[in-house]
């Protein structure tokens, strides 16, 4: 169930980092559900914002709009959803990702700083996650941490 209508098209576009034209295009092509109401009274809710952000994320992962249109929308979840804390002995761990997406590695680089790494990019550059986390820790002045 969507939250009560809260945004006009200008506010929605700004929050999602897209243009009003993009919002209209996504509605016209079925990527985004139509707003509640019409004309100047049209309002968009958190569900619309989540979908726009999801579309942007999928585009950033190299998916085409046709691919995104054919894929089911992600299930509703609280927005945003924070990651659970890393257990103290963990150096890094795999982050759960939606089906069909490659896993991401998450690690603690310093107190209050967590880093997400793409294993494919690391492998393509001949890097190991452990080494990258250690370098980041040194840059941040975190020194050696357990793990």
Predicted TM-score (pTM) of the model is 0.47
Q: Are 7 and 47 in contact (CB under 8 A)?
A: no
Looking at the domain assignment, is residue 52 inside a domain?
yes
Structure tokens at 23: 């919002």
Whether 96 has a pLDDT exceeding 80, the answer reads: no
Mean pLDDT of 68-78: 61
Count how many domains the chain has.
Answer: 2
Residue ranges making up the domain that contains 129: 92-139
47-51: average pLDDT: 91
> Alpha-carbon distance 136 to 105, whole Å?
14
Distance between CA atoms of residues 122 and 55, nearest Å? 25
* Residue at 87 is within a domain: no
What is the predicted pLDDT for the residue at 142?
A: 57
pLDDT over threshold 90, residue 20: yes
User: What residues pair up with 105 in beta bridges, in sequence order?
Assistant: 94, 117
pLDDT over 50 at 40, yes or no? yes
């Amino acid at each position: 169930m969507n939250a009560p209508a809260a945004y006009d098209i200008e506010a929605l576009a700004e929050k999602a980092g897209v243009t009003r034209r993009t919002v209209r295009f996504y509605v016209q092509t079925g990527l985004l559900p139509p707003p509640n109401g019409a004309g100047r009274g049209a309002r968009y809710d958190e569900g619309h914002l989540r979908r726009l952000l999801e579309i942007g994320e999928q585009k950033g992962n190299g998916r085409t709009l046709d691919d995104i249109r054919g894929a089911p929308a992600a299930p509703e979840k609280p927005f945003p959803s924070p990651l659970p804390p890393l257990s103290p002995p963990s150096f890094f761990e795999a982050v759960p990702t939606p089906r069909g997406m490659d896993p991401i590695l998450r690690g603690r680089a310093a107190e209050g700083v967590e880093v997400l790494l793409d294993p494919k990019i690391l492998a393509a550059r001949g890097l190991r996650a452990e080494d990258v986390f250690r370098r980041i820790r040194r840059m941040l002045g975190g020194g050696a941490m357990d793990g």
